[in-house]
Amino acid sequence: MNPRPKAALRLAVLICTAALLFLLFPSAVGFAEGAARNIRQLWWLILLICFAVWLIWAAGRRRE
């Protein structure tokens, strides 16, 4: 199987799994909505966390 159809299949399975879980657990939909609302309000915190992870990764790289 070529890489492109394999990636499309994986994406389809992931989307179907997420939809099934949202149907089975309706409280997950409310949690996802609340998380999205908080992310929209606290984007700067996410940016700081990403910057910190990048700094830790860059400091951990071995210099040659």
- Per-chain mean pLDDT for the chain: 84
Domain containing 28 equals 3-60
**Cα 39 from Cα 50, distance rounded (Å):** 13
Please state at what angle helix 26-41 crosses helix 3-24, rounded to 10 degrees: 110
Structural domain count, the chain: 1
Predicted confidence (pLDDT) at residue 64 exceeds the cutoff of 60: no
Residue predicted with more confidence, 8 or 35: 8
Instruction: Name the pTM for this structure.
Output: 0.46
